[in-house]
């Protein structure tokens, strides 16, 4: 029946693992178990006597009883959330569900493929989102870096122009200006920095201007 429905059964030796049905290339774990009923346990006379002797001992909370009803379960070997089960009932026995089991195998195989595609798409979307976040962070860092460069350049230009004006009016000595420029040189750009020779020459011109 499996061959007619284009399904395959895998159950390699030593047969200590549940068999697998392969439907449309997807593996489904195949299990038959017995339904068990659970009832609250009522302590027996002996257990009540034991409770009085040993306060650290306690009887089981539940009683489990075999029902003789079988349950067939199919589970995806890849996607844990994809599963289906059938069980004996009062009006329907498990052996009458085999046709539905084969149809469900095909539906589960299609669901597994869709789940795999969704995972790939979700992973791709996450990678794109991370790439966009990284690009935005790099743009922000580049903006801050350029802003800092512009600020330093503006400060250097303002300082350079201020010193030139002071030299022209002769308010500071040549030695003070040279020292000031040397201590501020690290903050000045190559285009805006005045050399010591330029400062001395400016100072010389200011003295000549004052004599006249």
Mean pLDDT of 193-210: 49
**Looking at the structure, do residues 93 and 167 belong to the same domain, yes or no?**
no
Average pLDDT over the chain, rounded to an integer? 78
Q: Please report whether residue 119 resides in a domain.
A: no
Q: Please report whether residue 128 resides in a domain.
A: no
pLDDT greater than 70 at residue 113 = yes
Last residue of a domain, one of 109, 136, 163: 109
- Residue 210: per-residue pLDDT: 47
Tell me the per-residue pLDDT of 15-68, one tens digit each, with 9 for 90 and over: 788 888 888 889 998 888 888 889 999 989 998 888 888 878 888 999 999 888
For residues 164 and 152, give the distance between their C-alpha atoms in angstroms, rounded to a whole number: 18
**Looking at the structure, do residues 19 and 94 belong to the same domain, yes or no?**
yes
Q: Please report whether residue 141 resides in a domain.
A: no
**Looking at the structure, do residues 103 and 28 belong to the same domain, yes or no?**
yes
Total domains in the chain come to 2
Cα 125 versus chain centre, distance: 12
pLDDT greater than 90 at residue 168 = no
Residue 196 or residue 21, greater confidence: 21
Phi-psi region of 123 (alpha: psi -120 to 50; beta: other; left: phi over 0): alpha
Model confidence, pTM:
0.53
**Looking at the structure, do residues 78 and 161 belong to the same domain, yes or no?**
no
**Looking at the structure, do residues 157 and 84 belong to the same domain, yes or no?**
no
**Looking at the structure, do residues 36 and 97 belong to the same domain, yes or no?**
yes
**What percent of the chain lies above the pLDDT cut of 70?**
73
The boundaries of the domain holding residue 178 are: 153-211
Q: Please report whether residue 37 resides in a domain.
A: yes
Tell me the per-residue pLDDT of 130-166, one tens digit each, with 9 for 90 and over: 999 999 999 999 988 888 888 888 877 777 777 666 6
CB atoms within 10 A of CB 28: 26
Tell me the per-residue pLDDT of 70-103, one tens digit each, with 9 for 90 and over: 888 999 988 888 999 888 877 778 778 878 888 8
Assess contact for 20 and 77: CB atoms under 8 A. yes
pLDDT greater than 60 at residue 186 = no
Burial class for 18, CB neighbours closer than 10 Å (0-12, 13-18, 19+):
middle
pLDDT greater than 90 at residue 124 = yes
- Residue 7: per-residue pLDDT: 78
Distances (CA, A) of 50 to 46, 53, 59: 6, 5, 9
Q: Please report whether residue 127 resides in a domain.
A: no
Residue 193 or residue 31, greater confidence: 31
**Looking at the structure, do residues 18 and 98 belong to the same domain, yes or no?**
yes
Last residue of a domain, one of 53, 79, 109: 109
């Amino acid at each position: 029946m499996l061959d007619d429905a284009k399904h395959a059964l895998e159950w390699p030796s030593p047969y200590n693992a549940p068999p697998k049905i392969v439907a449309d290339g997807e593996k489904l774990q195949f299990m038959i178990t017995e339904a068990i009923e659970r009832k609250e346990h009522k302590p027996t006379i002996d257990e009540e006597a034991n409770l009085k002797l040993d306060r650290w001992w306690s009887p089981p909370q539940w009683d489990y009883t075999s029902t003789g009803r079988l349950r067939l379960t199919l589970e995806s070997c890849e996607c844990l959330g994809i599963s289906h089960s059938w069980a004996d009932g009062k009006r329907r026995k498990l052996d009458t569900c085999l046709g539905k089991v084969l149809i469900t195998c095909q539906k589960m195989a299609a669901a597994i493929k869709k789940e795999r595609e969704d995972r790939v798409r979700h992973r791709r979307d996450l990678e794109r989102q991370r790439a966009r976040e990284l690009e935005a962070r790099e743009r922000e860092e580049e903006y801050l870096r350029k802003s800092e460069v512009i600020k330093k350049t503006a400060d250097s230009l303002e300082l350079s122009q201020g010193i030139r004006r002071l030299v022209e009016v002769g308010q500071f000595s040549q030695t003070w200006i040279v020292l000031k420029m040397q201590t501020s040189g690290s903050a000045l750009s190559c285009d805006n920095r005045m050399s010591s020779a330029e400062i001395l020459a400016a100072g010389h011109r200011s003295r000549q201007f004052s004599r006249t």
